[in-house]
Amino acid sequence: MGEPVRVSIVAQDPILEAGTRISLQYHGDIAVALSGERAQVVVMMVDRVAPQVMNAVRAGREADERQEVVLVATDLAAGDAVQAFAAGVRGLLRRSEATAERLASTVVAAAAGDCTLPPDLLDGLLEHGQGAGARRPGTGGVAAPGGSALSERERAVLRLVADGRETEEIARELCYSPRTVTTVVHDVTRRFQLRNRAHAVAFALRAGLL
């Protein structure tokens, strides 16, 4: 087991900040950073994805490009996801869905360079690209630069990857073999030249859907 991910918490409500700190500090893979100590991931608790929030994310990323951001918002819509990931956010959660375990897994994924968002927002990102003419006629998939497209099977796998599921879990849910799931992820990664696991958001960014 490696070193725990150091995380700091930013919230206007001190009670909310304290509650988030308590929910994370007992997770074995996470250590809440002390005052003045550098954190690998910043958890920002906000009401909505407002322009000032995006400005704060960009400023933080410019100041320390190695520091990732997880955004927990009361209200989220597909358009908010587009703005957030374009600004450099790695994880996006609704406050109502941010259980201690889900928040912890999102923080750990962000530290590893992966993106996480609610599955319904992933659909919104894909539809955003399709609305701009990204669907290739007759394929039933999402077209991307270079004439490639996502098949329905690839979309199903990527939705579950975006939800933080492991290979075995995805295989069970979709009634595929683990090897099939691994192959799908590998094919998308290779086709779109992604550096790590073909996370749905990373793919959307690379394919020009954002």
Q: Which of 48, 133, 47 is nearest to 83 (CA)?
A: 48
Q: Which tens digit of pLDDT belongs to each residue from 116-139?
A: 878 777 655 555 444 333 333 333
Q: Which two tokens stand for residue 198?
A: 């073909």
pLDDT above 70 covers a percentage of the chain that reads: 73
The pLDDT of residue 111 is above 70? yes
In this prediction, residue 147 has a pLDDT band, given cuts at 50, 70 and 90, of: very low
Contacts of 79 (CB under 8 A, 6+ apart): 124, 128
For residue 143, the model assigns a pLDDT of 44
One-letter amino acid at 206 equals: R
pTM recorded for the entire structure: 0.62
For residue 156, the model assigns a pLDDT of 81
Q: What b/e string do you get for 55-92 counting C-beta neighbours within 10 Å, with b at 16 or more?
A: ebbeebbeeeeebbbbbbbeebebebbbbbbebbbbbb
- Asked if residues 67 and 92 have their Cβ atoms less than 8 Å apart, the reply is no
Q: Which tens digit of pLDDT belongs to each residue from 27-79?
A: 888 888 887 788 899 999 999 888 888 888 888 877 776 788 999 999 887 67
For residue 127, the model assigns a pLDDT of 53
